[in-house]
Structure 1
């Protein structure tokens, strides 16, 4: 499977989990540039999102990813999750 297909598959699955756990009508560039609080994440919903992502991608997040304040934007959070998931493929 090519890297582009894997990235597209990751993005699709990530966005589906986001939409199930955050009440967003759609996910676009402006949403990804938003901070986590703006898109409706608080500490409780962030933990629920983490659990959903762990279940979806069969990964376990390191402690540093479990702290909502470490992510300025949803895109930064997505990139961190993607790196972890890609690391599991090797």
Structure 2
């Protein structure tokens, strides 16, 4: 099973690939403030779902509700239990 640090690291790397961001991304940083737009967000969700073999409910796919790495990690951990 993946631990929180590994999950967070994966998400950070995927975000950096999506928006070509070179800076540090903290776990509680609002991802829209570093340039993650709705299109990049959807692409990130698809990557997460495929990598972790999970499906994130459509109701949960509101960027404002899962706008940090911390909130994405929490959803992945909930789906893996």
TM-score by length of 2: 0.71
Does the C-alpha gap of structure 1 residues 72 and 49 become closer, same or farther in structure 2, counting only changes over 3 Å? closer
Which consecutive residues of structure 2, in runs of 5 or more, have no partner in the other structure? none
Answering whether residue 36 of structure 2 is matched by residue 12 of structure 1, we say no
5+ unaligned residues in a row in structure 1: which ranges?
1-5
CA contact (8 A) 1:54 1:60 kept: yes
**2:45 aligned with 1:55:** no
Larger radius of gyration: 1
**How many residues are matched?**
77
TM-score, normalised with respect to structure 1 = 0.65
